[in-house]
Amino acid sequence: MTDLAPAALGNVRLRAPAHEPFRPAAPDQPDHWPTMFDMFLGETARNPLVGWPKETFDILNRKRRVLHLNYIGVSDPEGIKRVFLDNVANYPKPNLIRRALAPSLGDGLFTAEGEIWRDQRRLMAPVFTPAALGQFNPIFARVAERTADRWATGLDDHIDVAAEATRTTFEVINEALFSGEAGLSFEATSGDIDAVVAAAGEYRLGFLFGMPWLDQSPLQRRANQGRKVLLGHLSAFIARRQASPSPSADFMTRLLEAFAERYPPKEAAKLALDNAVTFFVAGHETTANGLAWALYLLSRDRQAQAWAREEAQAAWDAGGTPTEILGRLPYLKMVWEETLRLYPPAPRMDREALAEDEICGLPVRKGDMISVWPWVVHRHRRLWDQPELFNPEHFDPEAKASHQRFQYIPFGAGPRICIGMAFAQAEALIILSHWLARFSFRPVVGHTVTPRAHTTLKPVGGMPLIVERAR
Ligand code: HEM
């Protein structure tokens, strides 16, 4: 028995860890802002995380001129509330970003604005209510088990848990939302999806100035090719579904029916395709990154891993449905929340001001860009106690009660908060608890972990860990 039995975890105040919390990998915070050259062509262009100077984590809001645009970096929870909730109509997603994403995501839920966004969000909401989501828990458990069974037959050296997590969440989204019929195999398409996601986050000069032909980087070329493959497969899937509707009323069938009632056939098919791509892309890589970062943190904190395993084993050993098991994981939930604090899989959110406003005393002009980085907000020294350390106690019930509402935003905030939030939370906890109950995770000596923000926050070179049977 470890010194803090999981049975003792629950709604009670948790003790601080009995060991030194460790400092997870993060780039050094330089003394100065990067040069323009560095920002667009140097190291910061490849990984914006390395460009954040110390002051970003000490000053809550600041305005900067970058080329022809004003950027207002907002980390004050009050300012975040202003942008994402109180005056949300003034702050749509920037045209620039919508243009960059449009070739892949079209007018799907992530990119749409105004009436078409509201309409889609309303249509989709019933699939993502807590009651409706319960139907997916057995899928999460089944796919987690499939991955774990594969590990169990071939455990010799290290495993790249980032790749394994991506395969797992890819299978989950394919089965949960598309009944496994989308015609995409992980092997054939994961590289394409990766390229599309990464390319969307690349800082590009031609793009900023409306001259996309300037942006012929290898990554952009790879993304263009990947996009064609992805759209080809998913268009064929939609055409099959339209020709002979699936007997199962899955997410895609419901969307097709709802769009058909509201829009002309061509527009309905296009919206269905836009959302098929949106949900494939938005719905698996973020959760996969969260899983990889959680296993990284636990692999370095043996005590936290032992507590989480003890809790997971007890939860699964007690039997019952995956939904019941999910209710028995309070410590793992804290670990998961702390993981998303330190490594928010969607590390940035951007908005564009339609009209003048004021954010925490800073004047905003029409056209100003508002940049909110969960990576920065979650590591801000004015908002968190010892923000650079891994400590699940940041999320014990008492600590949580003292948080300001908008200081923790891994899923965004306001009306555009991630529609898949509860889906992702249940998925992650069921998968992690299954894996932890069966395996232990250790670091690979000599491997350096480097987080990189390219639209999503990923470890450079994957996340190799030594995976051993735990029982
Ligand atoms: C740990 C996992 C996830 C994280 C951290 C995450 C994060 C986010 C964030 C931060 C946003 C808001 C972006 C913004 O306002 O600019 C967002 C939106 C969205 N997410 Fe997630 N997400 C996750 C999982 C999922 C899953 C599993 C799905 C689908 C099943 C999903 C689908 C979406 C969609 C469609 C939107 C756009 C919503 C709208 O604009 O109305 N996400 N996500």
Task: Please choose, from the candidates 49, 462, 103, 92, the residue with its C-alpha nearest in 3D space to the C-alpha of residue 291.
Answer: 462
Question: Which region among 188-192, 317-321, 428-432 has the lowest average model confidence (pLDDT)?
Answer: 188-192
Residue with the nearest Cα to atom 43 of ligand 1? 418
Taking 70 as the threshold, does the pLDDT of residue 205 lie above it? no
Q: Is the CB of 416 under 6 A from ligand 1?
A: yes
Per-position DSSP letters for 239-255, written without gaps between them: HHHHHS--SS--HHHHH
Residue with the nearest Cα to atom 12 of ligand 1? 412
Task: Please choose, from the candidates 1, 16, 43, the residue with its C-alpha nearest in 3D space to the C-alpha of residue 460.
Answer: 43
**Model confidence over 434-444: pLDDT tens digits?**
999 999 999 99
pLDDT (0 to 100) of residue 64: 85
- Residue showing tokens 């987080």: 451
pLDDT (0 to 100) of residue 454: 80
**Residue 256 to residue 220: CA distance in whole angstroms:** 31
pLDDT (0 to 100) of residue 203: 54
pLDDT band per the 50, 70, 90 thresholds, residue 412: very high
pLDDT band per the 50, 70, 90 thresholds, residue 136: very high
pLDDT (0 to 100) of residue 361: 94
**Residue 138 to residue 232: CA distance in whole angstroms:** 30
Residues above pLDDT 90, as percent of the chain: 63
**Residue 370 to residue 73: CA distance in whole angstroms:** 6
pLDDT band per the 50, 70, 90 thresholds, residue 19: low
More reliable by pLDDT, 199 or 410: 410
Q: Is the CB of 190 under 6 A from ligand 1?
A: no
Let me know if 130 is exposed, middle or buried by CB neighbors in 10 A (0-12, 13-18, 19+): exposed
Stretch 443-453: mean pLDDT, rounded?
Answer: 94
Domains of the chain: residue spans and CATH:
6-99+136-179+284-469 (1.10.630.10)
Q: Is the CB of 94 under 6 A from ligand 1?
A: no
